A and B are shown apart, each in its own frame.
Chain A
Amino acid sequence: MSNPSNEWPLWEVFIRGQHGLSHRHVGSLHAPDAEMAILNARDVYTRRNEGVSIWVVPAAEITASSPSKKGPLYEPSHSKVYRHPTFFDIPDEVGAM
């Protein structure tokens, strides 16, 4: 029986697809170190040519915004409707803009 404190750490996996888009989070996996995490990610998340580049990040190193502070965190952008182009009425005669 393996020692429970020896459980391999969790890594978050990000993959960039073929079409030049950003790396995208695809899931997570356990691995003893970064090198093995990349190899495991290759086997678990790219069995069908899903990507051309893999990033792995220790899950413990990720800082996330808190769901309960969603309101105050995003409030500043809620009140600024003029940031959206649809805020402005441009006459039809001006053409596409």
Chain B
Amino acid sequence: MYAQMIKSESTDDDPEKLAAFQARIDANEKIEPKDWMPQGYRKTLIRQIGQHAHSEIVGQLPEGNWITRAPTLERKAILLAKVQDEAGHGLYLYCAAETLGVTRDELTEMLNDGRMKYSSIFNYPTLTWADMGAVGWLVDGAAIMNQVPLQRTSFGPYSRAMIRVCKEESFHQRQGYDIMMRMAEGTPAQKRMAQDALNRFWQPALMMFGPSDKDSVHSAQSMAWKIKMNTNDELRQKFVDQTVPQAEYLGLTVPDDNLRWNEDTGHYEFSEPDWSEFFDVIQGNGPCNTDRLEARNAAWNDGAWVRDGMHAHAQKKQQTKVAAQ
């Protein structure tokens, strides 16, 4: 997902306090920043919310790539609005993470020097305009699968951030599907482009949910804490079940020879993605890892004089105000 492979931190707190904390979570109470919480809960959430925020921020890059080349002014305005939303989503999430005792600058620096990760999906390139359709439809579609249940997560600020994000997310997926519909009913060349985008994004989208449950060893604690609401495979299955009919409507073919509807289970059967590719991309060897981190570092470093200048200006104004009193 936007947060993949989050390892639950172990916790060596007072067992009595731990039991009382778990009882609050089991009773669906929200945990608020100033409440007592286990160290492991705090650390795991900083990593998870931080990674989620970083994904929103880095996620602007593949789409930003097409803003200047959108085919019409309307498409350009829509894409701009979507990318601006992603920045907003990153900001909601950073603020939620900050309530746990980490600063914004620390989070930014941990992203920029590679200590914190972002979703593997954003390390793939966006080669054609149809990729804007595929990203909105598949990537945002996969994100919604995960973010909707996270609205009920136990940590209050995270839950509230997810509620805001989910309100806006449906626009993102619809604008993507709208691009796909237009291309799929266009010229043969446009339809081929749409098919090609689906071919390239299908597996990476499936990987967004993280490794198969049988290899995902860190879920139990996070699920008990209600900071992970479903297993990776549950969400992946839900995504496939929802997306395949949408591809059929477009007249496009999901690139999986093993894809078939199973009448008995009421679900699609599908091939697992190539997990060696997933781990490789996570390790930093995807097609765009270097570009993405370079772009984030350049934005941070090139913007330093603006941040410092505005800070100095605010301080000067404050001093003038104090002197005048």
Contacts and interface: CB of A to CB of B under 8 A. Distances in A.
11 contacts: A7-B103, A7-B104, A10-B98, A27-B92, A28-B95, A29-B95, A32-B307, A32-B313, A36-B314, A44-B88, A47-B85
Contacts, number: 60
Interface in A1-36: 1-4, 6-8, 10, 26-30, 32-33, 36
Interface in B9-38: 32, 34-36
Interface in A51-75: 64, 66-68
Contacts of A6: 307-308, 311
B318 to A, nearest CB: 8
B307 A27 contact: no
Contacts of A27: 92, 95, 160-161, 164
Interface of B: 32, 34-36, 81, 84-85, 88, 91-92, 95, 98, 103-105, 160-161, 164, 168, 301, 304, 307-308, 310-311, 313-314, 317-318
Contact of B307 (A8, A28, A47): A8
A32 B316 CA distance: 11
A33 B98 CA distance: 19
B91 A29 contact: yes
A1 B304 contact: yes
A33 B317 contact: yes
Given A33-B310, A67-B35, 6 more contacts: A4-B103, A7-B103, A10-B95, A44-B91, A44-B92, A47-B84
Contact of B304 (A2, A26, A66): A2
A48 B92 CA distance: 15
A36 B34 contact: no
B167 to A, nearest CB: 8
Name, among B85, B95, B301, B313, the residue most crowded by chain A CB atoms within 10 Å (CB to CB): B95
A2 B105 contact: yes
A4 to B, nearest CB: 6
B155 to A, nearest CB: 14
B317 to A, nearest CB: 6
Given A29-B95, A44-B88, A2 B308 contact: yes
B104 A30 contact: yes
A66 B314 CA distance: 32
A27 to B, nearest CB: 6
B105 A7 contact: yes
A3 B168 CA distance: 34
Contacts of A29: 91, 95
Nearest to A36: B310
A68 B324 CA distance: 42
A42 B304 CA distance: 23
A30 B34 CA distance: 20
Contacts of A44: 88, 91-92
A87 to B, nearest CB: 27
Contacts of B308: 2-3, 6
Given A28-B95, A33-B317, A67-B32, A2 B307 contact: yes
A4 B308 CA distance: 10
B33 to A, nearest CB: 9
Contacts of A30: 104
